[in-house]
Structure 1
Amino acid sequence: MDSTQSEPAGEPPDTNMERRSALRNRLLEWVKVDGDRLFLTIGISVGVFVLILVLNSIGAVAFTNDNSVTRMASGMIAGTFSLVTLVVSVNQLILSQEFSPASEHRNRFSGVMEFRRDLEEQTGVSTAPVEPTRVVEVLAEAIGDRASELSDSVANSTDEEFRQQVTQYAKSVEDSTKWIDEAFDQSDVEAFDALSVAVEYADGWQIHVARRLRNDASELTDETAATFDELIDTIRLFSTAQEHLKTVYLQRELAKFSQLTIYCGIPAVLSSISIALLYGDIGGATISTRFLPYVTSLLVTIVLVPLVLLAVFILRTATVTRRTSTVGPLLLQRPSNEKSVQVTINDTD
């Protein structure tokens, strides 16, 4: 019998590591952006409740010291009131953006209508769609068409290197627009998905590479130059749509956060008061020690719900704002290779 043993069949270690890394990245992306904020809040709150019970069962925490619990309850009351006050201030900031005189409102409305007319002109649709997902889809399709036209316009170019670079660039742009179509090819696509997909699109980098290829070309026909300009204008319109969707989303998201915090803030304050009253008797807690850990853990969890809401909502709004903080071709996430025409750059920080 041969003494050497064959390697077990299966995937290479590098493939397993890449799969685990991809799974971890998808999980982080779901927590930061894609996951439902209410579902995430409920899940974290349930986890906090279970964690407190586990810590109590192993003796790490206890609910028998009346003075410690009442001091904690007093701090919770003060903290909850401070959080609610902060949320009210945020809500006032949102409302201040909504109140505007007639002249300012007319300017904002005119800007939106001008954007819709530009969208109709660039994409060839008779009437610009009103659904955010359809706006992104229509623009992505137009960008893909412009990229295909750009590739065709350099097919007879005598500059081999320039033709290869433009063809590679056009194919990369087309692939990125196909990715958008695949992302929307679902029955449960919601309005936020439009912004989530638009944020991931490397529009600034595509504009940068297109301008570099156009400006550095040794020879450029009028047809190719015009196609470059049309592609850049369409991608720029996509950037405008991205910014508009982000502004509308942030206003609605922060308003929803304020509303939910008020809903949860009142039970949180009442729970804090209940904890203080629960241990307010001279002889100790007013309920049996058998049920005391469960009741106290539940009340503490309810008190922490507004804080969890703050964390999950601000995490998503901050992530979206960070990813769209630049205007135009400006790459802050990582060093760029100016000689490369690779445009499929996504950053999930």
Structure 2
Amino acid sequence: MSDDAPADTMRERADESRVKLWVLTEANRLLVVALFLAVVIGLLLAVGLLVPDPVGFLEEGDPIETAFQSFIGATITGVTIVVTLTQLVLSQELGAVGDQRERMQGAMQFREDTAELFDTPVSPPEPADFLRSLLSVTHDRAETLRDSAGDDNRLADLAQSVAENAEGVRDSLSGARFGQFEVISAGLNFNYSWKLYAARRLRAEGGGGDEEEGAGGVDSDDGTELSADQQSALDDLIEALELFGPTREHFKTLYFQWELIDLSRVILVASIPALLVSSFMVLYYEVGSFPALVPGVPTPVLVVSLAVGFAVLPFAVLLSYVLRIATVAKRTLSIGPFVLRTTDDGREFDWD
């Protein structure tokens, strides 16, 4: 493979700023909520200070009452949608005993298969430890492939790429626990899709063949074929890479369910102060009913700006969680050797 191969980390592959990806994925969701509310309140204060007569504008007609009545309706509607969403998530956990037994059998069969791969009696129970074990096996098999590569630079380059990527992701999982985004983030930084495609292509070009590509394969571009040791090491590496895909997808699904349940709880709590403040602004607030709070800032402008911040709190919570879920979903739309980014087109790479 050439130096044009796609980068391993999600940030490098996405070709987006570190700050943007930090806000979308890595940052604590409550911190994102706080940043969003600070921007909203700050913008409202800035506009209020730029308007020639903000107090007169707020006293003319009933803009405050109209706005906060809308906030009340939006909050109630949003809570209803969140409750429905929670029911949808929980519905996947409900079912007859036969369905639950089938799920159990599938899970146990998967764990037996992975235990055989790990060469241990039982595979690790926690997702972070499971991924670390899988990445350790992948790293070791990549090292075996590099040792058997000999003068074949294609195999050596692939093995080095897999080993370095697996080692880096494995180290980042140290101390991580499920429910923390670090587990999913680490999985996103292992670019297994491209590595699996590269390994399968090398196997086909080296004469090893593939079930999908026909038995016997084709000769490599330089006329050489893989030796028996190289073929065996490459097959072992492909087996580990193929297992990483469903493993990451399973943990991603569990994480999405975890996040959606957390979202439901947080947004339900956030809706209480939002409804209380909005109701107060509709029923009791009158411009001029508060004494001066901050010198140089008209009190009605400050009160309305802060009240709007409370009113949009449920929306801010929803926005912060959905941004991360949507970003992760977009980066993991495909499973296996399918690469959706146009910059990762296999035709752009030199395999000689």
Q: Which runs of 4+ in 1 moved over 6 A?
A: 186-190
The two structures have a TM-score, normalised by structure 2, of 0.81
**8 Å Cα contact 2:127-2:178 kept in structure 1:** no
Does 1:95 find its partner at 2:115?
no
Separation in structure 2 between the aligned mates of residue 188 and residue 89 of structure 1, nearest angstrom: 28
Separation in structure 2 between the aligned mates of residue 195 and residue 188 of structure 1, nearest angstrom: 10
Q: Which runs of 5+ in 2 are unaligned?
A: 1-13, 207-218, 220-224, 293-297
Cα distance change on mapping 1:187 and 1:133 into 2, 3 Å: closer
Shift of 1:89: 1.6
Deviation digits for residues 32-86 of structure 1, max 9, x if unmatched?
1111101211222133223322322222755333511111112111211221121
Shift of 1:190: 6.8
Does 1:31 find its partner at 2:23?
yes
Amino acid at match of 2:283: L
Cα distance change on mapping 1:188 and 1:96 into 2, 3 Å: closer
* Structure 2 equivalent of residue 192 of structure 1: 181
* Structure 2 equivalent of residue 222 of structure 1: 228
Does 1:78 find its partner at 2:73?
yes
* Structure 1 equivalent of residue 45 of structure 2: 53
Does 1:64 find its partner at 2:59?
yes
The two structures have a TM-score, normalised by structure 1, of 0.82
Cα distance change on mapping 1:300 and 1:97 into 2, 3 Å: same
Separation in structure 1 between the aligned mates of residue 348 and residue 74 of structure 2, nearest angstrom: 54
In the alignment, which of 296, 310, 313 is matched to residue 304 of structure 2? 296
**8 Å Cα contact 1:278-1:286 kept in structure 2:** no
Amino acid at match of 1:120: A
Separation in structure 2 between the aligned mates of residue 247 and residue 23 of structure 1, nearest angstrom: 25
- Look up the SS of the partner of 2:59 in the other structure: coil
In the alignment of these two chains, the number of paired residues is: 312
Tell me which moved more, 47-56 or 174-183: 47-56
Shift of 1:248: 0.6
Separation in structure 2 between the aligned mates of residue 307 and residue 231 of structure 1, nearest angstrom: 46
**8 Å Cα contact 1:169-1:341 kept in structure 2:** no
Amino acid at match of 1:107: E
Shift of 1:173: 0.7
Tell me which moved more, 119-128 or 58-67: 58-67
Does 1:237 find its partner at 2:243?
yes
Does 1:270 find its partner at 2:276?
yes
Separation in structure 1 between the aligned mates of residue 303 and residue 312 of structure 2, nearest angstrom: 14
Does 1:136 find its partner at 2:128?
no
**8 Å Cα contact 1:119-1:128 kept in structure 2:** yes
Separation in structure 1 between the aligned mates of residue 253 and residue 278 of structure 2, nearest angstrom: 36
Quick one: percent identity of the two aligned structures? 29
* Structure 1 equivalent of residue 209 of structure 2: none
- Look up the SS of the partner of 2:312 in the other structure: helix
- Look up the SS of the partner of 1:98 in the other structure: coil
In the alignment, which of 261, 271, 287 is matched to residue 267 of structure 2? 261
Does 1:126 find its partner at 2:121?
yes
Amino acid at match of 2:80: T
Deviation digits for residues 279-330 of structure 1, max 9, x if unmatched?
4x6xx55444753333222211111011111111000001111111102111
Amino acid at match of 2:264: S
Separation in structure 1 between the aligned mates of residue 333 and residue 178 of structure 2, nearest angstrom: 25
Cα distance change on mapping 1:186 and 1:258 into 2, 3 Å: closer
Separation in structure 2 between the aligned mates of residue 188 and residue 214 of structure 1, nearest angstrom: 36
Tell me which moved more, 239-248 or 219-228: 219-228
Separation in structure 2 between the aligned mates of residue 24 and residue 44 of structure 1, nearest angstrom: 20
Amino acid at match of 1:37: R
Cα distance change on mapping 1:23 and 1:231 into 2, 3 Å: closer
Separation in structure 2 between the aligned mates of residue 295 and residue 229 of structure 1, nearest angstrom: 67
- Look up the SS of the partner of 1:328 in the other structure: coil
Amino acid at match of 1:177: A
Shift of 1:269: 1.6
Tell me which moved more, 108-117 or 180-189: 180-189
Separation in structure 2 between the aligned mates of residue 91 and residue 275 of structure 1, nearest angstrom: 30
Deviation digits for residues 233-289 of structure 1, max 9, x if unmatched?
11111112101110110001001101111111122122211111234x6xx554447
Cα distance change on mapping 1:112 and 1:188 into 2, 3 Å: closer
* Structure 2 equivalent of residue 114 of structure 1: 109
Does 1:165 find its partner at 2:154?
yes
Amino acid at match of 1:303: A
Does 1:105 find its partner at 2:100?
yes
Amino acid at match of 1:169: L
Q: Which runs of 5+ in 1 are unaligned?
A: 1-21, 343-349
Tell me which moved more, 198-207 or 47-56: 47-56
Amino acid at match of 2:241: I
Cα distance change on mapping 1:274 and 1:66 into 2, 3 Å: farther
**8 Å Cα contact 2:64-2:282 kept in structure 1:** yes
